[in-house]
Structure 1
Amino acid sequence: MAALPVVLNVSHFYGEVLKMPLGVMGLIFIAARTIDAIQDPVIGLVSDSFTHRGRRGRLVFVALMLPLLIGGFYMLFHPPAAILTQHTMLAVWLFAALFVVHLGYAGVSISYHAHGAELTDDYNERTRVTVGREIFGLLGMTLAVVLPTVLTGRFGENQGYAYMGALFIPIAILFAMPTLLWSPPSVHPPVRRENPEIHVRYFRDWLVGLAPRLARPTRTMEDNTAFRALVPFFAPLKNRLFRRLLLVFVVNGAALGVAVSVMLFYVEHVLKGNKLQAGIILLVYFGAAALSVPMWLMLSRRYSKTVAWFIAMILTVGAMSVAVFFGAGDFALFVPVAILTGMGIGADYGLPPSVLADIINSEEGKDTRGDTGAYFGLWALATKLATAVGAAGSLPVAALLGFNPSRGEYGNFALVVVYVIVPVAIKVVAAVLLWHIRVEAERGSVRDEMLRRR
């Protein structure tokens, strides 16, 4: 519930309601998101250190970071009345609130996901954990779509957003308590890093092999304090299955980043829909994602997790391709497309974290086995990278092709290309990668699994 308003509503609240200059707001977003991305691997290591407090130690870290998440979210939508007309103070407030909410969100989500990955070592049970978790996550996103629309419509923009920030406090506490009080403990022992020099030698040899011209500088890396400090952050990259999973995940996630950034534009200008219809599309989208999760669990049991994920990619490609032919007045025809693509998102959210949980404790992990927090720190960084790459590339391409509202240009062809054609092409690339390369620790590639069953 916290993630979506920070992405969708903050820019509207500060730009349209509070009249902050868009240039200043853009710089604040870039700075805050850069810090957010850098801190993820560090938070992963901190989460690992809390495993020495017991098998529920990661949840202690979650409890410590939860007040930051709640407080930062409240700050975003409830700036003091005294600074609303002072753009400098309002900009400082926005940056501070974004910093706090990003820190709290990263601390809670990374340690929470890492604890979930350690609840079981069973192949199918891990998928049950991840898909069960993502159902609640998608329901939270649905709530984040409904609340701003209802509250701002009833109380006005300023007061409505303030009420949303206040309502988040009891909701966050209420839904956090069952996890913090009654979640089962981890089945893994505390994380121990007794031989960090192994990581240093590995990266020295890897860099030398990757770029021979770096051979001379890397000879002294073992004695470089800064390098030794950075190495643990990226130690999970030693796991080749993790590198492959990240490749597919980032490519696949870029497609979602492209589509989400222009989705509302597509509904408004291509389908000629209103705000209510745009809200309906978002509700259908996330609702279908949540309801489809049990189906992906069943398919992953019958075939494999990557096969189920591959099927979801093909389903999304087929459904999205139909949207090329839609135009004004085709809102009703677009709803089934939103349902099918939402089902694909259910697989995108539920299956890759389960594959990751298998990879962390695989033989390929070697001396990084059990460093769950470090893995999920890099995973969070990759998630943000995928979304940022998609979002950063979509709007400039749309402007180049003729959709630029600031200049009065509303070319529908540009939106069709960016919302449909580009994401479909990226999804096809992700599906081809998943078909050919082996990602799972206990299963072959999608091609091997499907041909073997056939």
Structure 2
Amino acid sequence: MTLNLPRLIAYGLPAISLAALTLPLYVVVPTFYAESLKLPVEAIGLTLLFVRLFDAVNDPLIGWLSDRWRPAWGRRKVWFTAFVPIALLGAWNLFWPPADAGLWHLGVWSLVLSLGYTGAILPYTAWGAELDTSYEGRSRVAAVREGLILVGTLVAIAVPFTLGWSDPAAFHGLALLAVGIALTLPVFVTITLFFVPEPRERSRTRVNLSDGLGHMIRNAPFVRLVSAFLLNGLGNAIAATLFLLYVSERLGLGDQRGAFLFVYFLAGVIGVPFWNWLAKRTSKHRAWCIAMIFAIVVFSPAPFLPEGSIYGFGAICVLSGLALGADLTLPPAIQADVIDVDTARSGEQRSGTYFAAWSLTTKLALALAVGIAFPVLGVFGFDPAQDAQSTAIGITLLGFFYGWGPIALKIPAVAMMWNFPLTREDVDRLSDEIDAAQRAV
């Protein structure tokens, strides 16, 4: 199935609001709860790490169920619709907490948001992976969805900083974001449900849970891809988690944090068409590797920028933002390809299960970033929640964590992906095999 542009946009619309659900949780919420609610950074990091451990059970279960349950309305549409209200409830309470909210509030509503978001995003991304079965068509679907995610990310950045959050008892920027999500997400979801068809299922049989896990472990392209994605994702997550603190505490440019973030993600939007074009000219995996190498070069001077370096860091934001467009669009398109390896061998199209593993990897990277960076920085005397200034070594370490952490992790990711063993021709061959086997049943 090949979608025209209006239907592609209809499919991608919910991504705008879904992006506004997730970026604040990992970038803005930790800083908000540390600076405004005065919670200790070590405790915030450990609380959010616990939430991600919850996802270790939550993600695979939802992915497996979304593959197995086949109601008449569509196995992707039903799960997507059912979990959106749960995500909205979690976001409303997490982004608009009472002024005396503590770690229990942060933990409970982070769990609710995580459950709702997982239940919505897994069938949504699996739906997109199944809408087009061609090598380049999958890049097109992923580019539209991830491009609109970047648009939602820009909104999620701009809105909280319009009002700020210095007074948690007032109607602050995160509360405004919660209201905006509550108004837009139901509308976008309705448009998608009515205008985007349920994809044709390509399964010819069913496999039990243990056999399915065995097929996944033996899927060498998937294991290689998800390993590289974890390394690169952890590098990006370290930079994302420390972004606001690096700008305010290391560079002394706290008033410019919103502007830097906006420029970064705007550059990501601009970069999406280029990386999609480069993937057509070369391959998805080579284009992604080139983007990671580019990001390595860009991040290298970050620990050495002098305080107040607004133009130097602005350049890093623009250039690393361009690379972000590749990180968001190309790996999910490759992921759709590696699912075909499993479908051809096992006989069951298990996109939900595979994207559950993908989602779990993403969340693990984000959790490790918070769970490692915050406690280590706290040990060395960095704590923005205290009235006393952070130690010099803590601030210096913050700079190196932010700048060189991503570099150390992207280098092995490039090595894994440069000669990735799944080409355009392989994907076309696998698709023909799957269709022929299904017709023979």
TM-score bracket relative to the smaller structure: 0.7 to 0.9
Alignment partners' CA distance in 1, 2:166 and 2:204: 50
Among 368, 389, 399, the alignment partner of 1:416 is 399
Alignment partners' CA distance in 1, 2:268 and 2:411: 20
| Map 1:342-361 → 2, pairs under 5 A | 342-361=321-340
Alignment partners' CA distance in 1, 2:328 and 2:301: 23
Letter in 1 for 2:396: F
- Post-superposition CA distance 1:372-419 (Å, at most 9, x none): 111011111111112223333334554566755567303353233212
Q: How much does 1:151 deviate? A: 3.0
Q: How much does 1:171 deviate? A: 1.5
2:9 aligns to what? Answer: none
Alignment partners' CA distance in 1, 2:204 and 2:63: 12
Alignment partners' CA distance in 1, 2:302 and 2:281: 31
TM-score, scaled to structure 2:
0.82
2:245 aligns to what? Answer: 265
3-state SS of 2:170 partner: helix
- When the two structures are aligned, how many residues end up with a matched partner? 403
2:268 aligns to what? Answer: 289
Among 81, 87, 96, the alignment partner of 2:108 is 96
| Percent sequence identity over aligned pairs | 32
Q: How much does 1:162 deviate? A: 3.2
Q: How much does 1:70 deviate? A: 1.1
Runs of 5+ in structure 1 lacking a partner?
Answer: 201-231, 445-454
Tell me whether 1:75 sits opposite 2:89 in the alignment.
Answer: no
2:281 aligns to what? Answer: 302
Tell me whether 1:162 sits opposite 2:162 in the alignment.
Answer: no
Alpha carbons of structure 1 residues 13 and 312: separation in structure 2 relative to 1, 3 Å: closer
TM-score, scaled to structure 1:
0.80
1:253 aligns to what? Answer: 233
Alpha carbons of structure 1 residues 323 and 31: separation in structure 2 relative to 1, 3 Å: closer
Among 185, 195, 198, the alignment partner of 1:185 is 198
Alignment partners' CA distance in 1, 2:370 and 2:31: 17
1:312 aligns to what? Answer: 291
- Post-superposition CA distance 1:230-249 (Å, at most 9, x none): xx467522311111111111
Tell me whether 1:176 sits opposite 2:155 in the alignment.
Answer: no
Question: Could you tell me whether the CA contact under 8 Å between 1:398 and 1:418 is conserved in 2?
Answer: no
Q: How much does 1:100 deviate? A: 1.8
Question: Could you tell me whether the CA contact under 8 Å between 1:355 and 1:440 is conserved in 2?
Answer: no
2:408 aligns to what? Answer: 425
Alignment partners' CA distance in 2, 1:290 and 1:111: 24
Alignment partners' CA distance in 2, 1:325 and 1:22: 24
Question: Could you tell me whether the CA contact under 8 Å between 2:95 and 2:178 is conserved in 1?
Answer: yes
Q: How much does 1:269 deviate? A: 3.4
Question: Could you tell me whether the CA contact under 8 Å between 2:215 and 2:346 is conserved in 1?
Answer: no
Tell me whether 1:122 sits opposite 2:105 in the alignment.
Answer: no
Letter in 2 for 1:185: E
Question: Could you tell me whether the CA contact under 8 Å between 2:268 and 2:324 is conserved in 1?
Answer: yes
Alpha carbons of structure 1 residues 420 and 114: separation in structure 2 relative to 1, 3 Å: same
Alpha carbons of structure 1 residues 77 and 404: separation in structure 2 relative to 1, 3 Å: closer
1:221 aligns to what? Answer: none
1:37 aligns to what? Answer: 56
Q: How much does 1:43 deviate? A: 0.6
Alignment partners' CA distance in 1, 2:45 and 2:372: 15
Alignment partners' CA distance in 2, 1:155 and 1:396: 26
Tell me whether 1:374 sits opposite 2:353 in the alignment.
Answer: yes
Of residues 105-114 and 320-329 in structure 1, the stretch that sits farther from structure 2 once superposed is 320-329
Of residues 114-123 and 180-189 in structure 1, the stretch that sits farther from structure 2 once superposed is 180-189
Question: Could you tell me whether the CA contact under 8 Å between 1:239 and 1:365 is conserved in 2?
Answer: no
Question: Could you tell me whether the CA contact under 8 Å between 2:45 and 2:374 is conserved in 1?
Answer: no
Q: How much does 1:271 deviate? A: 2.6
1:151 aligns to what? Answer: 163
Of residues 370-379 and 152-161 in structure 1, the stretch that sits farther from structure 2 once superposed is 152-161
Q: How much does 1:323 deviate? A: 2.9
- Post-superposition CA distance 1:213-246 (Å, at most 9, x none): xxxxxxxxxxxxxxxxxxx467522311111111
Q: How much does 1:27 deviate? A: 5.5
Alignment partners' CA distance in 2, 1:388 and 1:155: 27
Alignment partners' CA distance in 1, 2:374 and 2:41: 15
Q: How much does 1:258 deviate? A: 1.8
Alignment partners' CA distance in 1, 2:192 and 2:95: 26
Q: Which has the higher contact order (CA 8 A, sep 6+)?
A: 2
2:117 aligns to what? Answer: 105
Alignment partners' CA distance in 2, 1:15 and 1:174: 33
Q: How much does 1:129 deviate? A: 0.2
Letter in 2 for 1:333: G
1:53 aligns to what? Answer: 72
- Post-superposition CA distance 1:331-356 (Å, at most 9, x none): 11221221111111111110011001
Tell me whether 1:278 sits opposite 2:257 in the alignment.
Answer: yes
3-state SS of 2:131 partner: coil
Letter in 1 for 2:54: I
- Post-superposition CA distance 1:304-346 (Å, at most 9, x none): 0001101101110111123344212321122122111111111
Letter in 2 for 1:408: S
Alignment partners' CA distance in 1, 2:401 and 2:220: 33
Question: Could you tell me whether the CA contact under 8 Å between 1:248 and 1:434 is conserved in 2?
Answer: yes
Alignment partners' CA distance in 2, 1:15 and 1:340: 29
